[in-house]
């Protein structure tokens, strides 16, 4: 029996957040590949640190955090969920910061489109759910601003699903993130004045974990920001100030 | 109750999808189950494997392949869009096809088991007594498998109501067309609308309880009638 208990402890051991040099990140699916690149560089310089991460939609990660999931750092795809965590007292104001500015693009690999406003009644258009996905919200704003009237608007539950709808040919065009189509053609740039900025914010949930805190700060350094921009994100408007002041208007 | 119009629409769509799926599957599976029950052929194991597959396949696998099949880039999707001038993905027809595949074993297995249990002797005796094949089916075979038939229909209906993963992958969340109740619930939770989520979840829970209760009661009741009345 004792042996059996030891076995269970041994199996569970990697999951315990015992040391201060290991932590877990909950990352929005759209930022996952960028995070992997950053982690590769970061961990090469910090061999003692161990970082695990889980990716998913910001909404479901938020739900998990709300119910006590063991994440120390949350990289959301927008500012809504970090703000909500702060409002619920699960996050201190000075540990919330914008780490990336998302860019919305229109991807139409096969349709004869050169501009978003050419979308007409022969196009099946895919967007992420405007109520939950930040890029979906931005897409809805563009659709309204240009008064686009496609044949049909399909909702994916994330921009990853929108990408799949378009890649499989079931949708002619889709609004997704620049970071998803860095190496693909037929990407149409969208005027940034047509949608409210997509502020991807992060939340440091356990400031007493020094490794997590170091990495939170690292993401705002020029070195990390350069990688983030190379992966299809925009320059931060006011990176760390907002985190320090905590006075960003919604 | 904090249900919006969209939620009622989603519930109605769920019932419509489940009813259509059940009706089609029962009609298809009755002859198929009968054929499979009496069939002696090496091909039988192959057919049984294929028809059992949806039972154990992750719904995401079904959804993933269906999206490829529905794509206008490939044969079936292309052929459908030429013929009907609309596409299969993100339409009611699309999620109906998905449900038919997803719930197939739930209709087929109980019926096949019932036919197998009944054996060939019954229909042979009926033939000897001068019943035509149709009379045998209507008066002998169908009344005899009634509990299994009701069980299969209830299970198929309930299983289709419980469908989530497949529709999430091929539905496109269109209100009134592909947004069924389970998807609407997921949407509410993601959107932090817990009031509406609670109401929808409660309705689905009560519904499922009722269905299970009903099918238990039916099977007991039917069980009694069968044992009390001699066959023929």
pLDDT digits (tens, 9 = 90+) for B108-128: 999 999 998 887 778 788 888
Say what the pTM is.
0.79
B165 interface with A at CB cutoff 8 Å? no
Provide the mean pLDDT of chain A: 86
Number of H helices, E strands in chain A: 9, 10
Q: What is the pLDDT of residue A248?
A: 45
In this prediction, residues B145-153 reach a mean pLDDT of 89
B89 interface with A at CB cutoff 8 Å? yes
**In the predicted structure, residue B58 carries a pLDDT above the cut 80:** yes
Q: What is the pLDDT of residue A98?
A: 94
Q: Where in chain A does DSSP place strands (E)?
A: 22-28, 50-56, 73-75, 96-102, 104-107, 124-128, 152-156, 173-177, 187-189, 198-204
Domains along chain A? 2-101+199-245 (3.40.190.10), 104-189 (3.40.190.10)
Query: Rounded to an integer, what distance in angstroms lies between the CA atom of residue A3 and that of residue A150?
Result: 64
Provide the mean pLDDT of chain B: 88
| Of A129, A156, A169, Cβ closest to residue B72 | A169
- Residue of chain B whose alpha carbon sits nearest to that of A162: B172
**In the predicted structure, residue A202 carries a pLDDT above the cut 70:** yes
> How would you classify the pairing of strands A187-189 and A124-128?
unpaired
**In the predicted structure, residue A115 carries a pLDDT above the cut 50:** yes
A129 interface with B at CB cutoff 8 Å? yes
For residues A114 and B197, the model is more confident at B197
Task: Give the dihedral of Cα atoms A30, A31, A34, A39; nearest 10 deg.
Answer: -140
Asked whether A156 and A107 are in contact (CB, 8 A), the reply is no
In this prediction, residues A32-54 reach a mean pLDDT of 92
Per-range mean pLDDT, top range of A3-12, A183-192, A222-231: A222-231
Query: Rounded to an integer, what distance in angstroms lies between the CA atom of residue A114 and that of residue B154?
Result: 52
A132 interface with B at CB cutoff 8 Å? yes
ipTM exceeding the 0.95 mark = no
Q: What is the pLDDT of residue A245?
A: 54
The share of chain A scoring above pLDDT 90, in percent, equals 58
CB atoms within 10 A of CB A149: 12
In this prediction, residues A7-18 reach a mean pLDDT of 54
**In the predicted structure, residue A7 carries a pLDDT above the cut 70:** no
Which tokens sit at B90? 């993100």
For testing contact with chain A, the best of B89, B190, B196 (most A CBs within 10 A): B190
- B71–A157 C-beta distance less than 8 A: no
Per-range mean pLDDT, top range of A105-119, A157-171, B96-110, B119-133: B96-110
């Amino acid at each position: 029996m004792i042996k059996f208990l030891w076995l269970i402890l041994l199996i569970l051991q990697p999951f315990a957040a015992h040391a201060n040099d290991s932590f877990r990140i909950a990352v929005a699916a759209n930022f996952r590949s960028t995070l992997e690149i950053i982690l590769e560089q970061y961990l090469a310089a910090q061999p003692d640190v161990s970082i695990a991460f889980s990716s998913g939609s910001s909404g479901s990660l938020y739900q998990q955090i709300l119910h006590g999931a063991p994440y120390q750092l949350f990289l959301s795809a927008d500012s809504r969920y970090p703000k909500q965590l702060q409002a619920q007292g699960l996050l201190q104001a000075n540990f919330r910061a914008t780490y990336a500015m998302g860019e919305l693009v229109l991807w139409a690999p096969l349709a004869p489109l050169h501009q978003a406003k050419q979308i007409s009644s022969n196009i099946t258009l895919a967007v992420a759910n405007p109520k939950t996905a930040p890029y979906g919200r931005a897409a809805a704003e563009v659709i309204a601003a240009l008064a686009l009237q496609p044949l049909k608007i399909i909702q994916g539950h994330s921009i990853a699903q929108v990408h799949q709808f378009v890649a499989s040919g079931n949708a002619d065009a889709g609004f997704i993130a620049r970071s998803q189509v860095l190496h693909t053609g037929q990407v149409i740039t969208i005027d940034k004045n047509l949608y409210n900025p997509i502020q991807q914010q992060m939340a440091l949930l356990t400031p007493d974990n020094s490794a997590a805190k170091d990495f939170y700060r690292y993401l705002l350094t020029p070195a990390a920001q350069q990688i983030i921009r190379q992966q299809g994100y925009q320059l931060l408007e006011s990176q760390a100030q907002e985190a320090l002041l905590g006075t960003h208007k919604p | 109750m904090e249900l919006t119009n969209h939620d009622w629409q989603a519930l109605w769509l769920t019932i419509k999808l489940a009813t259509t799926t059940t009706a089609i599957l029962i009609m298809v599976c009755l002859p198929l189950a009968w054929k499979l029950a009496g069939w002696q052929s090496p091909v039988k194991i192959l057919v049984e494997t294929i028809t059992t597959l949806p039972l154990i396949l992750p719904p995401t696998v079904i959804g993933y392949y269906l999206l490829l099949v529905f794509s206008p880039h490939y044969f079936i999707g292309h052929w459908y869009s030429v013929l009907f001038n609309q596409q299969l993905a993100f339409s009611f027809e699309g999620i109906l096809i998905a449900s038919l595949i997803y719930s197939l074993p739930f209709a087929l297995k109980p019926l096949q088991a019932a036919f197998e249990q009944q054996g060939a002797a019954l229909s042979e005796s009926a033939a000897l007594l001068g019943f035509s094949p149709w009379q045998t089916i209507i008066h002998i075979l169908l009344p005899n498998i009634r509990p299994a038939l009701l069980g299969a229909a209830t299970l198929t209906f309930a299983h289709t109501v419980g469908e989530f993963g497949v529709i999430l992958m091929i539905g496109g969340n269109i209100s009134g067309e592909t947004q069924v109740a389970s998807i609407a619930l997921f949407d509410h939770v993601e959107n932090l609308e817990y009031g509406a989520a609670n109401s929808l979840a409660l309705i689905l829970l009560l519904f499922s309880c009722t269905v299970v209760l009903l099918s238990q009661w039916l099977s007991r009741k039917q069980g009694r009638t069968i044992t009390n009345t001699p066959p023929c």
